[in-house]
Amino acid sequence: MSFSKVSVFVVLCQIFVSCSQKTLRVVCIGDSITQGKAKNDSITELSYRYYLWEKLDSLGLDVDMVGSNVYWFNENKTKRIKLPVSRHTAHVFDPDHESWYGIKSGEVLNGGFTHDDILYAKTFEERLKNYKKPDIALIDIGGNDGEKDSLNANENIKRMVEYLFERNPKMDILLSKSNVPWDRYINHSVEKNIAIVKQKHPKMKIKYVDLASGWVNCVDAPGTHTFDWVHPNPAGQKVMADKWFKAYLSIQDTEKPIFKSEISVSNMSDSTATLDWLPATDNQFVAGYNLYVDNEPANYRYNDCVKSIKQCLALIPQNSYVLNDLKRDKIYKVVVEAVDYANNKSLPVAFSLRLK
């Protein structure tokens, strides 16, 4: 083979390799739910990271998980646990991440903390510069920030988002509505926070992912998603991964869901009514439904074991909902809308409701 033919062959091979597999760099930012946990020589909390990586890897992507932490919580630093492999491709899991058990948002942002006997002296902004630019960032933080810290936590999260944008203006940022029920002080601010940073940075690509929707915290409830009300069990880890994955697949989606169902009302009592509707459709995935009563959000999720306890606003995952705290003979304006994983909202369906 001549030199010129060899050169052409090499170039064609390089083109084929570069076109056949795209590198996707992913950073997962969070606390214990993101990090996961080890005990002795085994992983006791694998975390959603593995199942998300497995789904992305199965798409044929070269998935590069990035971050300044490579360990599960309590992992032996001198005798690392054998990394799990994909059940579909046999590729070895990439464990890099940006999360720490018990961490608060301010510590992630400002650095200077010691975790699992390792000092993380650098700030979030400085740590970001130590690894390759992420293409996508998943943020699920705030579970260790109390109600009194919620204002600071929201500011910390907005600063993290801005540092991510500065690091890579083309990055897709996915911000969670947390599945930790007492995070409502942060969850209820997520859409507002996104609007604020988008106003400041119009080209920022940021969306929310509602992890609270359909989540079962109570360990005694059927189909529970947690070991202990907080940390996801394998079923919960897979549910989280599935939601992040659908959000990734929907990044370019701009089509609204189609929702034209009539709303039926049944089981009316002195203070409650059950609403039912036919499911919406979407070109990608329907994430759930928002519900408004007299222009106020009303799609609260309730404690799975004590049904009377409100937790936080979350998308309704099914095609029905029980409205509580209604008054007889009052006319309510009720609106239902479908939402997809790109945060596109359908045209609303509105009707009047009156308990007789």
Percentage of the residues of the chain whose pLDDT score is greater than 70 = 94
Separation of alpha carbons 22 and 62, rounded Å = 6
Distance in angstroms (rounded) separating the CA atoms of residues 82 and 97: 17
pLDDT value for 307? 82
pLDDT on residue 356: 78
Q: Tens of pLDDT along 91-112?
A: 999 999 999 999 999 999 999 9
Domain 13-249 sits in CATH 3.40.50.1110: yes
For tokens 């709303």, name the residue: 263
pLDDT band for position 10 (cuts 50, 70, 90): very low
Report which residue type is found at 179: N
Contacts of 12 (CB under 8 A, 6+ apart): none
The model carries a pTM of 0.93
Counting every residue, how long is the chain? 356
Within this chain, domains 13-249 and 264-354 share the same CATH topology:
no
Which segments of the chain does DSSP mark as H helices, in order?
3-20, 32-35, 48-58, 105-110, 124-128, 150-167, 184-187, 190-200, 234-249
Tell me how far apart the alpha carbons of residues 323 and 334 are, in angstroms, rounded to a whole number. Answer: 10
Fill in the DSSP letter of residue 25: E
Strand order in the sheet with 264-266: 264-266, 273-276, 320-323
> Would the pLDDT of 57 be above 70?
yes
Domain ranges of the chain: 13-249, 264-354
Q: Which residue has the higher pLDDT, 190 or 147?
A: 190
What letter does residue 338 receive in the DSSP assignment? Answer: E
64-88 pLDDT, tens digit each = 999 999 999 999 999 999 999 999 9
The predicted structure's pLDDT at residue 245: 98
Q: What is the DSSP pairing of strand 264-266 with strand 62-66?
A: unpaired
Question: What confidence tens digit (pLDDT) does each residue in 309-353 have?
Answer: 889 999 999 999 999 999 998 999 999 999 999 999 999 999 999
Q: 20: pLDDT confidence band, cut at 50, 70 and 90?
A: low
Classify strands 310-313 and 300-302 as parallel, antiparallel or unpaired.
antiparallel
Residue with tokens 């390089």: 14
pLDDT at 3: 38
User: Chain-wide mean pLDDT for the chain?
Assistant: 93
Q: What DSSP state is assigned to residue 245?
A: H
Q: What is the pLDDT of residues 286-301, one digit of tens each?
A: 999 999 999 999 999 9
Question: For the segment 171-196, what is each residue's pLDDT rounded down to a tens digit?
Answer: 999 999 999 876 788 999 999 999 99
Token digits of residue 190? 């997520």
Is the domain spanning 264-354 CATH 2.60.40.10? The answer is: yes
Give the pLDDT score at 286. Answer: 98
